[in-house]
Chain A
Amino acid sequence: MEEKNSSKISFLLKDITDLNAEFAITGIGGSEAMYKRVLDMVIGMLPTNIAEMDKFLKEEDNLGDFTIRVHGVKSSLRQVGCYRLGDLADALEKAGKANDRQYCDMNYGAFREEVLRFYEQVNSVLRNMGNKAGSCETPSGDINDYIDVLTRVKEAAMGYDSILAMKRLSPVLKFHFSVDIDELLKKAATEFEAYRPRKGLVHITELLNKYQKLSQLQGKDGLK
């Protein structure tokens, strides 16, 4: 199903002149689905990366952090096949490393504009492809079932296994519980998706405490 939905991505992106999606897809084994997943993440992170580059460049004596962020953007752009903008980032990175603030100040604005244009173009294609919207079903089953699921998520997170934690958490995400619980679930999922298992663990532990209290209020057994 996933393969079918994303199978046209190289075709849909073909008019974006700065993007050689086909070449990038070949470099990761020809999987359009994997490419789309990576592209979604790269595009999703660009606004944050731009905001950070803006902030770091404005700060006095912080060319180092600016350079590290530019380096990350360069790698991401090249990974998805955006080589020309990757080269512009490379020039900024080299200038940053050489402590050439003048070059960075003079050229960052034009680079930023091009990256934003690229972001808009790709984001528009991704939006039109219809990224799945999460449904909001009402939870069913015993509260102890959720405690059991979250306990297994917690075990995975304690073993630093973000992927397993996310896999175990996913079935619960489609349900709507309450605003605070939904928020915690979302936060935990965000951390696991960003491969930060310890931060995800904090939210899962808080969720488990809430469920335990709920379970006790309902007069049922909580966690051992």
Chain B
Amino acid sequence: MSIDSKKILVVDDDSANLTLIDGILSSLYKVYPIDSGEDALEFLEIQRPDLILLDVEMPGMSGTELFRIIKSNPDLSHIPIIFLTGLSDVESEADAFRLGVSDYIRKPINDVIMLARVKMHLEFSAHRKS
């Protein structure tokens, strides 16, 4: 499989999750794992990912806070953001969609689901641009 030029930023405070996600996606995409919301903002000053996978519950800046900051920035607001979460209740999922996330992936992470959702949102985003 060849590596797509698409860049994916993954933000999660758990390095085991970052390793796993990189293992799942890196044969297809260029993956940038970052362990905090603060560092992700610095990353976004110099790079423009095609998609962001964002853990909701993190110490320091939460995924929700980071999401709001990204969406309030006109240069970044077009980037699709998928929430990653260990929260399993329906209300949390509904809250995420009310907030405006593109999608929601539950942990434990499953490789088939992650690959399918990422592919779908990248394609959707590309269609919107064209």
- Residues of A whose CB lies within 8 Å of any CB of B are 24, 27-29, 31, 34, 37-38, 41-42, 45, 65, 68-69, 71-72, 74-76, 78-79, 90, 159-163, 193-198
Contacts and interface: CB of A to CB of B under 8 A. Distances in A.
B93 interface: no
Interface of B: 13-20, 22-24, 26, 31-36, 39, 42-43, 46-47, 57-59, 86-88, 107-112
Nearest to A74: B86
Given A162-B33, A196-B39, A75 B19 contact: no
B108 to A, nearest CB: 4
Contacts of B24: 28-29
Contacts of A198: 39, 42
B110 A76 contact: no
A41 B108 contact: no
Given A65-B59, A195-B33, A75 B23 contact: no
Nearest to B47: A160
A34 B15 contact: no
Q: For the complex of A and B, list the 5 residue pairs with the smallest distance between their C-beta atoms, beginning with the closest.
A: A75-B86, A41-B16, A29-B111, A195-B33, A160-B43
Given A28-B24, A29-B24, A68-B58, A42 B39 contact: no
A199 B8 CA distance: 21
